Amino acid sequence: MSSVPVPENESARLQLLYELDLLDTQADPLFDRITGLVKELLDADVAVISLIDKERQWFKAKVGFDVAETPREESFCTHVVASGDTMHIDNALEDVRFSSNPHVVSEGGIRSYAGAPITLFDDHHLGTLCVISQHPNKFSNTQLRYLETLAHWLSETIADRYAIDNYQAERDVLAHGPVCAVVWRVEPHVHLSYVAENAARVLGYSSDYLLREDTHFESIVHPEERDELLQRMQNVLDGKQEVLEMDYRVIQPGQSDADAQWIQHYARADRDSAGNIVRVRGYLLNDSKGKRMEMALREANQNFELALAAGEFFTWSWDMLADELHVSHPWSLIAGYSADEEQQLNWREVIPAEDLSYVQQRMREHATGHTKRFDVRFRVKHKHGHYVWLHSVGRIIARDEMGQATKIAGVHHDISRQVADEKLLAQQTELLELVSHVQHSFMLSKSFTEVCDHALPKLMAMTASHVGFVGELPAQSQHRNLLRVHGIRLGTAQHESESVKRLGQQRLEVEAKGQLLQSVLTAGEPKFHHQRLKPEDLSLAPLTLPPLNNALIMPLYFRREVVGLMILANADGGFSQRYLGLLRPMLDTFGTLMHMRRMDEERQQAVETLRKLATTDELTGLANRRVFWEAAQQRFDEFMRYQVPMTIAIIDLDHFKQVNDTFGHGAGDDVLREFCRRTQAQLRDMDLFGRLGGEEFAILFAHTAVDDAIQALERVRKAIAAEPVSVEGEEIAVTISAGMAQLRQSDNKLDQWMARADEALYQAKEQGRNQCVAVSENESGYTKLN
């Protein structure tokens, strides 16, 4: 017996295995059913789900033997865990790795084995789904594919449960933290349906009190903020605004305003598939300390601004009668003009028209006494074309005999960096809200294309872009030259047609060409391009892109694997490096959702494949014997309850053995498939056509008396006998014999009904074949129709 192999990531693998808490746990019905299914599919003596621990292999599920665990050094499965690949052994006595294994050389020992890895997070192989037999066995590719599909299903199930456990743990942490989660139901009326257990600590009121039918949440809110909260909540319920964000005070009976608790309230509505609001989720944070600090800081800032206005730092004064502006600094410090240019400079000309109008409005408001001071932020156009932001504060310092303002003085300073930071912070906040919305929407709709339709225009607005694209690489993409379109905006009226917007919904695949695109998809690094792009730089055939003056191309990742990309182009002013940091949360979210959508599709395909294998005949695609018998039993029960006519027919291909013996089994399979095709062409959608085995078939005519059913069956017989079946140049004549019987009240069980139809089939064969025979209504004989 060879030495036991160990995976390179053994330490990380064991850590994950222990974290999942699967070892030495109770039996799981789902795992037991999967184990039983794989034993049946691979026709094995034993089937197990094994987990490879440091010194042992432990069996989470097993069918066919009772051992709980075995030493790791004697395990076949540890080889699968080490390699990460499916392993099958036809005869262990002939395999040098296992020929001396004690489980092989013992009486009734292992002869054949097949095991597929149970893998989480790409390369953590925890154990196997495997089968064992006491006799040599050569497993088919189909059987091994079944084994791998079920092992992959197990892996996804374990990963999903792991994620759910983590979510519950996070919710428990939230319940003991400073944020109180609440839920309002909207039917039959708006009411609290859930309040986290930490409500007493956050709000000062217990969850039991808040959930009482006679308690209205607004009753604990300070009267000065109560109506505003109700109005904002109503706006959310009416769909006028997406979220509710508000600070308000929570009061206790007999408590003063100074002692009231400040609550930061955030809420968002949940909608059903039809877009109707079903609940509103809220998160309440006790922010009393922060709010009091904020109010104190605001007062301090006001005092500071007044003190600054009395100083000489970038001061200005405006003689309103002479229309002369005097500043304490040269304009070159702000707008880049030289001393000579300043002599001819009109300050109104360097302020954009919309900003100048706002400045003049604020000046009038202060001059007429509507505001205590002139306080405004505005832009000044720099000599080099960009804008500088100024914050200006001033007061009227002189009036004439009529009380009209004649002079105003104040200070201003450059706040361009502050405005940029505020804009970035606002964009970051907007982006995080968008990420949350995208994640929530995807969990509800499971449509990544819908997510892109919502998110892409907002991302383009943040970056002042006019072209946007989100594409996904197909699974296991090797050449990385195809992208599935999920979101696209081409900007101009010419390109922004409804047909272009629907490309994502149609799952169009485009060919990604160009050096820029290929470098991003292969190297996985974002690319900036600040000049006009050529087709050899970027193209998405068959799409016709508008001229691209600049572009930012960003890869979308999941666990270090490039799964797609996002393109933003034609940005006003080009792209800066800060956009990568700003967009990173959305890029990560897109990559994760792409992976989740892909995994969900693969899981659905696996389930559909298993369902089809379990219900259809592999050769003909008809309902298999089990499905046909179950349907017949349902119709039997329906007849016994409602007396609705039911007729069943059993069909046999005449002398079919001679077809196999003369032309071969391949030709026989072709004959069976052609027989099924012709037969189905003559039947109704409601008629069930199934294969009972070999060349024996049956038709279940629901809600049909025998007189009508035999006419349909005769059409089938004529269609089969009308012309021979052509197989590789050979013309094979085919006929059928059929017997049928209508269900009667005297049939005590399904077998009696089937036996009468089978007896009619026997009569058809005895009378010369190529004919249909039905049991007569009075059971006095048979009706032949040919």
Annotation marks residue 602 as catalytic = no
C-beta neighbour count of 397 within 10 angstroms = 13
Q: Could you give the count of Cα atoms lying within 13 Å of 34 in the half-sphere of its Cβ?
A: 25
Cis, bond preceding 555 (omega within 30 deg of 0): no
What is the rounded (10 degree) CA torsion for 219, 224, 227, 230? -60
Q: Are strands 539-541 and 730-732 parallel, antiparallel or unpaired?
A: unpaired
Report CA-CA distances (Å) from 282 to 272, 410, 720.
18, 45, 69
CB atoms within 10 A of CB 449: 20
Strand order in the sheet with 87-89: 69-71, 56-63, 46-52, 124-133, 112-120, 87-89
Please give the single-letter amino acid code of residue 377: R
Q: Of these residues, 225, 450, 472, 695, which one is catalytic?
A: 695
How crowded is residue 404: how many other Cβ atoms within 10 Å of its Cβ?
13
Residue 200 exposed, middle or buried by CB count within 10 Å (0-12, 13-18, 19+): middle
> How is residue 521 written in tokens?
């998809």
716 phi, psi to nearest 5 deg: -65, -45
Residues whose CB falls within 8 Å of the CB of residue 726, separated by 6 or more in sequence, listed in order = 732
* Pairing of the two strands 277-286 and 782-785: unpaired
**DSSP-assigned letter for residue 440:** H
From CA 438, how far away is CA 444, in angstroms rounded? 10
The number of C-alpha atoms within 13 Å of 199 and in the hemisphere containing its C-beta is: 19
Secondary structure (DSSP) of 153-168: HHHHHHHHHHHHHHHH
The residue to which tokens 């390179």 are assigned: 8
Active site residues: 695
